[in-house]
């Protein structure tokens, strides 16, 4: 009996020590992640919960929110432009993200393959990415200005009647993709670093096995830089979901009302809503039409879609855990 | 247990969310004859030259009311004012550049109803034209006062008209069509080299709101719902405009428009002689004087469908109001009253900013600096049939919903005008209902 008691006593003491021992590291971990956790709660958790609440209210920023039940959610089906804006954003995401990744990867590979003046060319290709988005967009729209812009002038020398670019609903979104390709430097520099990290001995082994250039790229380069590709895809999709500044400025400049008294939002979507993106419509509903409750519905949908795509991509490729598929 | 904690946390967050916006607290107004004193903060959106004009007039106010100290903050836009009022830290007085904000401030009480002050001080608001009174009140609340106005007229290039044998600017829509065709110059391939009049909606100042007064079209019914589909005048305007667009060719017009310079730059198409006639505000005169002094231009009222409407036009303007969160509402009202109802202040502001004064008496004041062209805008402003865009709780949503349809109609994407305008009505009414 006494033995049993002693054993029990030792076990209890060991458990207590264990508990103390495990609590201390947990406290240390909490201390370190505390500031970040606090930031997440204040700047993500709270706004998210608040957005859910506001989506069921009539909210003007001036008065306390007034509960209206599902009215804002029902209005989604009546809103004639939310579908247009969502389609535009989807189009931009589907075209711009792959175009930027392919363009940046090809540029990085070409630059890495260069023997001379590599640094100078890297700097040259990176420079447009340093230009502030508003300035870069204004310059790009003027560059493509029909009839009088330098690109159109050069096309005319070649006997080509150029398109209306940002003034044509059919060309406006492709022109935005061109603009994004022009400022590809940020992504290119990441790919340059990733490509330099691919072990040379893998290429040597592939060569010994008789692999050609495509096989080396497909079976050595791509798997090695996959985490960077997934990172570029996820950040690209999130960036496109929030695409606003360039489309707003391009519409304003192309419509010849760059400094209109009503503010830049007066020309959102020009021409014929072809450049109206989902975040621009969200902004319009909230800040221009004073329907902040409905704007919160749009914001929540955007969050859910972006989050879902991100989670699917991370799970599918397990990019950030280091394991492959 | 864990679920309960999460629910409790969410409840606390919701409570904090709901409580963070202060509820409106109506403040009693002082008895008649009280002398304003203390500090007042004024926010406005003006910059540079115009901001200096404001500073000058504020100095005059302080000389008249030495017990009031005014702090002026320029370059403040409407969204900042809205957020500050919502957070309980709004300025005492704010000036907005757009009448579109009036519906919001009146409906929400963001700007206080000035009627009690107006009645207490025995102010007769009929010293201003009806049109400016209408865009500064909403649902019976006078939450704003007009702070100078803009009038829209018709600019024409005198030399081009004379060369084409046109003696006078067009007075009717038919005359405008005829003159536009005569003044248009095409290249051998049929593209436009110079447009007599560029009729596309969305080009510079060619918005439905600015052109609506040509036919006397109505935006909203007295109950606040859309009148667009049921008002035949909109159909008349759109049919006239579409006929002219089709004469030019929509694609050719778009191509020509795309090649033109920015409205607010020295490359403005009227200033560069690329268009012969244009609808624009009174401010264009200052741009012409500064950027294109050699252009021989004249100004007239907008051509109209009905001769009896000739002389009228579109009127809009800046508005001023007292925030619900004003710390010193009495001095704030004194400032608003001075800026909007004092004739000498109105004249000085108009001379400084070159907008139209909103007091009828100021229009004929001897010290108001006017030339023949500016006189045209003064007469448009005073015309009894001049109109404006009515305030709405959803700001410019009704105008922009209509604008989306007009865009599709002029390009030929939408062809059924009646059905299209009925759909516009429905869309506008849905939004207005949502706003409450």
pLDDT at B430: 96
pLDDT at A261: 47
Q: Pick from A71, A95, A113: which residue ends a domain?
A: A71
Residue B84 lies in a domain: yes
Residue A237 lies in a domain: yes
Q: Pick from A71, A91, A108: which residue ends a domain?
A: A71
Q: Is A147 within 8 Å of B255 when comparing Cβ atoms?
A: yes
Assess B324–A contact: CB distance below 8 Å, yes or no: yes
Of residues A15 and B182, more confidently modeled: B182
Residues A153 and A109 both lie in one domain: yes
Of residues B86 and A3, more confidently modeled: B86
- pTM for this predicted structure: 0.88
* The pLDDT of residue B173 is above 80: yes
| Structural domain boundaries, residue A313 | 77-317
Query: Which residues are within 8 A (CB) of B185 and not within 5 positions of it... i.e. 6 or more apart?
Result: B192, B193, B194
Q: Pick from A56, A71, A86: which residue ends a domain?
A: A71
Output phi, psi for B156, to 5 deg: -140, 150
pLDDT at B33: 79
Q: Of all residues in chain A, what percent carry a pLDDT higher than 70?
A: 89
Residue B270 lies in a domain: no
Q: Contacts of residue A260 in chain B, CB cutoff 8 Å?
A: 263-264
Summarize pLDDT for B298-348 with one digit per residue, the tens.
Answer: 999 999 999 999 999 999 999 999 999 999 999 999 999 999 999 999 999
Residues A136 and A159 both lie in one domain: yes
Residues A54 and A101 both lie in one domain: no
CA distance A324 to A318: 7
Chain B nearest-CA distance from A152, in A, is 11
pLDDT at B35: 87
Summarize pLDDT for B244-276 with one digit per residue, the tens.
Answer: 999 999 999 999 999 999 998 999 999 999 999
Residue A308 lies in a domain: yes
Continuous H helices in B154-231: 158-163, 173-183, 208-211
Residues A184 and A95 both lie in one domain: yes
Q: Contacts of residue A37 in chain B, CB cutoff 8 Å?
A: none
Residue B169 lies in a domain: no
Residues A50 and A129 both lie in one domain: no
Q: How confident is the model at residue A315 (pLDDT cuts 50, 70, 90)?
A: confident
Contact B435, A58 (CB under 8 A): yes
Residue A135 lies in a domain: yes
Residue B193 lies in a domain: no
Q: Is B258 within 8 Å of A80 when comparing Cβ atoms?
A: no
Summarize pLDDT for A41-89 with one digit per residue, the tens.
Answer: 999 999 999 999 999 999 988 889 999 999 999 999 999 999 999 999 9
Assess B404–A contact: CB distance below 8 Å, yes or no: yes
Contact B299, B377 (CB under 8 A): yes
Residue A9 lies in a domain: no
The domain tally of chain B equals 1
Instruction: Reduce the secondary structure of B293-354 to three states and give it as a string.
Output: CCCCEEEECCCECCHHHCCCCEEEEEEEEEECCCCCHHHHHHHHHHHHHCHHHHHHHHHHHC
pLDDT at A18: 54
* The pLDDT of residue B235 is above 90: yes
pLDDT at B4: 61
Of residues A17 and A154, more confidently modeled: A154
| Structural domain boundaries, residue B361 | 26-150+315-382
Neighbours of B220 (CB within 10 A): 17
Q: Is the peptide bond before A94 cis (omega within 30 degrees of 0)?
A: no
The domain tally of chain A equals 2
Chain B nearest-CA distance from A64, in A, is 5
Please report the residues numbered 174 through 203 in chain B whose beta carbons come closer than 8 angstroms to any beta carbon of chain A.
202-203
pLDDT at A289: 92
Residues A209 and A98 both lie in one domain: yes
* The pLDDT of residue B394 is above 80: yes
Residues A22 and A140 both lie in one domain: no
pLDDT at B34: 82
Residues A166 and A37 both lie in one domain: no
Summarize pLDDT for A276-313 with one digit per residue, the tens.
Answer: 999 999 999 999 999 999 999 999 999 999 999 989 98
- CA separation, residue B244 to residues A297, B260, B417 (Å): 42, 19, 16
What does the mean pLDDT of chain A come to? 89
Residue B13 lies in a domain: no
- Choose, out of B8, B191, B258, B422, the residue to mutate when testing the contact with A (most A CBs < 10 Å): B258
Summarize pLDDT for B340-375 with one digit per residue, the tens.
Answer: 999 999 999 999 888 999 999 999 999 999 999 999
* The pLDDT of residue A173 is above 90: yes
Residue A323 lies in a domain: no
Residue B33 lies in a domain: yes
pLDDT at A325: 42
* The pLDDT of residue B18 is above 80: no
Q: Tokens standing for A25? A: 């590291």
Residue B20 lies in a domain: no
Residue B258 lies in a domain: no
Of residues A37 and A8, more confidently modeled: A37
Q: How confident is the model at residue B216 (pLDDT cuts 50, 70, 90)?
A: very high
Residues A30 and A101 both lie in one domain: no
- Choose, out of B12, B17, B395, the residue to mutate when testing the contact with A (most A CBs < 10 Å): B17
Long-range contact pairs involving B27-35 (C-beta distance under 8 Å, separation at least 24) = B27/B112, B27/B329, B29/B116, B29/B117, B29/B120, B29/B329, B29/B330, B30/B330, B32/B120, B32/B121, B34/B330, B35/B67
Task: Look up the ipTM and state it.
Answer: 0.88
Residues A51 and A140 both lie in one domain: no
Q: Contacts of residue B23 in chain A, CB cutoff 8 Å?
A: 63-64
Residues A86 and A54 both lie in one domain: no
Residues A124 and A242 both lie in one domain: yes
Residue A141 lies in a domain: yes
Q: The domain spanning residue B104 has which CATH number?
A: 3.40.190.10
CA distance B198 to B191: 13
Residue A7 lies in a domain: no
Chain A nearest-CA distance from B279, in A, is 15
């Amino acid at each position: 009996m006494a033995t049993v008691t002693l054993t029990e006593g030792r076990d209890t003491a060991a458990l207590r020590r264990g508990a103390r021992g495990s609590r201390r590291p947990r406290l240390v971990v909490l201390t370190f992640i505390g500031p970040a956790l606090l930031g997440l709660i204040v700047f993500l958790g709270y706004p998210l919960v608040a957005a859910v609440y506001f989506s069921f209210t009539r909210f003007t920023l001036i008065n306390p929110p007034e509960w209206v039940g599902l009215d804002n959610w029902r209005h989604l089906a009546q809103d004639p432009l939310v579908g247009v804006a969502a389609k535009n954003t989807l189009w931009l995401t589907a075209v711009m993200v792959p175009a930027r990744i392919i363009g940046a990867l090809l540029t990085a590979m070409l630059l890495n393959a260069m023997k001379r003046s590599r640094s100078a060319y890297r700097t040259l290709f990176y420079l447009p990415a340093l230009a502030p988005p508003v300035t870069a967009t204004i310059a790009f729209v003027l560059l493509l200005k029909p009839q009088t812009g330098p690109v159109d002038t050069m096309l005319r020398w070649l006997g080509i009647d150029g398109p209306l670019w940002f003034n044509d609903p059919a060309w406006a979104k492709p022109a935005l993709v061109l603009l994004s390709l022009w400022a590809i430097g940020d992504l290119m520099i990441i790919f340059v670093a990733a490509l330099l990290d691919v072990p040379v001995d893998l290429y040597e082994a592939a060569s010994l096995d008789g692999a050609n250039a495509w096989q080396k790229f497909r079976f050595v380069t791509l798997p090695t830089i996959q985490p960077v590709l997934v990172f570029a895809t996820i950040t690209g999709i999130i960036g496109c979901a929030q695409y606003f500044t360039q489309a707003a400025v391009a519409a304003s400049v192309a419509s010849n009302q760059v400094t209109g008294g009503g503010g830049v939002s007066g020309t959102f979507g020009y021409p014929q809503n072809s450049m109206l993106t989902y975040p621009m419509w969200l902004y319009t509903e909230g800040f221009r039409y004073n329907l902040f409750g409905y704007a919160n519905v749009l914001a929540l949908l955007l969050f859910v879609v972006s989050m879902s795509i991100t989670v699917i991509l991370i799970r599918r490729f397990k990019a950030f855990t280091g394991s492959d598929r | 247990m864990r679920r309960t904690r999460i629910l409790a946390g969410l409840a606390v967050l919701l409570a904090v969310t709901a409580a963070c916006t202060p509820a409106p607290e109506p403040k009693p107004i002082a008895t008649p004859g009280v002398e304003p004193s203390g500090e007042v903060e004024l926010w406005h959106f003006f910059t540079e030259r115009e901001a200096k004009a404001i500073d000058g007039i504020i100095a005059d106010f302080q000389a008249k009311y030495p017990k009031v100290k005014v702090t002026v903050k320029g370059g403040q836009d409407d969204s900042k004012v809205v957020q500050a009022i919502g957070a309980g830290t709004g300025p005492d007085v704010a000036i907005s550049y757009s009448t579109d904000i009036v519906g919001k401030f009146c409906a929400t009480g963001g700007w206080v109803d000035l009627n009690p002050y107006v009645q207490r001080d025995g102010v007769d608001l009929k010293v201003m034209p009806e049109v400016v009174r209408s865009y500064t009140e909403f649902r019976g609340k006078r939450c704003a006062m007009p702070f100078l106005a803009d009038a829209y007229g018709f600019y024409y290039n005198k030399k081009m008209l004379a060369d084409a044998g046109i003696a006078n600017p067009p007075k009717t829509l038919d005359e405008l069509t005829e003159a536009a065709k005569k003044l248009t110059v095409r290249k051998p391939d049929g593209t436009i080299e110079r447009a007599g009049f560029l009729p596309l909606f969305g080009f510079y100042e060619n918005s439905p709101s600015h052109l609506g007064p040509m036919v006397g079209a109505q935006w909203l019914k007295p109950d606040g719902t859309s009148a667009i589909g049921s008002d035949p005048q909109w159909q008349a305007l759109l049919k006239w405009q579409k006929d002219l667009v089709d004469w030019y060719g929509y694609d050719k017009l778009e191509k020509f428009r795309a090649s033109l310079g920015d409205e607010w730059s020295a490359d403005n198409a009227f200033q560069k002689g690329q268009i012969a006639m244009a609808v624009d505000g009174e401010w264009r005169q200052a741009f012409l004087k500064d950027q294109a002094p050699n252009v021989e231009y004249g100004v007239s009222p907008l051509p109209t469908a009905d001769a009896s409407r000739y002389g009228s036009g579109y009127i809009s303007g800046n508005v001023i109001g007292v925030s619900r969160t004003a710390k010193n509402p009495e001095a704030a009202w004194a400032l608003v009253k001075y800026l909007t109802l004092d004739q000498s202040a109105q004249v000085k502001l108009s001379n400084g900013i070159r907008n139209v004064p909103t007091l009828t008496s100021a229009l004929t004041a001897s010290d108001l600096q006017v030339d023949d062209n500016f006189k045209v805008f003064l007469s448009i402003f005073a015309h009894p049939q001049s109109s404006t865009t009515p305030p709405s709780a959803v700001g410019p949503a009704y105008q922009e919903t209509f604008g989306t349809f007009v865009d599709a109609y002029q390009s030929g994407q939408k062809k059924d005008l009646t059905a299209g305008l009925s759909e516009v009505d429905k869309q506008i009414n849905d939004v207005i209902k949502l706003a409450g």
